[in-house]
Amino acid sequence: MASVVGHAIAAITFGTAFSKKIKNWKFWLLGIFCSIFPDADVIGFNFGVAYGSFWGHRGFTHSFLFAFIFACFITLIFYRKSIFKKKGFLYILYFFLCTVSHSLLDAMTTGGKGVAFFSPFDNARYFLPWRPIKVSPMGIESFFSEWGLKVIQSELFWIGIPCAIAIILILSLKKWILSD
Ligand SMILES: [Zn+2]
């Protein structure tokens, strides 16, 4: 994984593009939650689930199909009244983007196995061709170490800066479009 911080930054960046009318603290929190949830699969390590298997780390919970199902599920639970309206579609889209951003960032990290983007149809693991982000350690203790520090530095550079530029672009574009 990239770290929780890196994933959350991505969720915030996507959220910026959405209308103020659908955003409140719940929207942001759920977006961040979606951006980190795929790593719930690390629980499997405690139960002997093999890394490379369907439920293994970076397996099904990191796939496009899972992201779509999870986005629908979150919208159904938290925005049930809006689900068949335009708003509902926007919520599903946002939560989908947040969940998928997790897998894309993972596929750009330097370590671990690749990501099963196309699970359950194809359980092969993939990386993106470009992998500048230093892989984050799993445990909290190992995160507060020199490794953790290097991860933060690498994420600030490779996720933080591009996301800050994206946020500025999105906000300027919105202002420009809405100013007419
Ligand atoms: Zn992950």
**Residue 92: what pLDDT?**
97
Q: How confident is the model at residue 111 (pLDDT cuts 50, 70, 90)?
A: confident
Q: 95, 71 in Cβ contact below 8 A?
A: yes
Gap from CA of 79 to ligand 1 centroid (Å) = 26
CA 103 to ligand 1 center in whole angstroms:
6
Kindly give the distance from the C-alpha atom of residue 114 to the centroid of ligand 1, in angstroms, as a whole number.
10
Question: What 3-state class would DSSP assign to 154?
Answer: helix
Q: CB count, 10 Å around CB of 66?
A: 22
Q: pLDDT tens-digit profile of 139-175?
A: 666 666 777 888 888 888 999 999 999 999 999 998 8
Ligand 1 centroid distance, CA of 60 (Å) = 11
DSSP assignment string, 6-45: HHHHHHHHHHHTS-GGG-SHHHHHHHHHHHHGGGGGGHHH
Report field, pTM of the whole predicted structure over 0.95: no
| Residue-level pLDDT at 2 | 65
Question: What distance in angstroms lies between residue 128's CA and the mean position of ligand 1's atoms?
Answer: 14
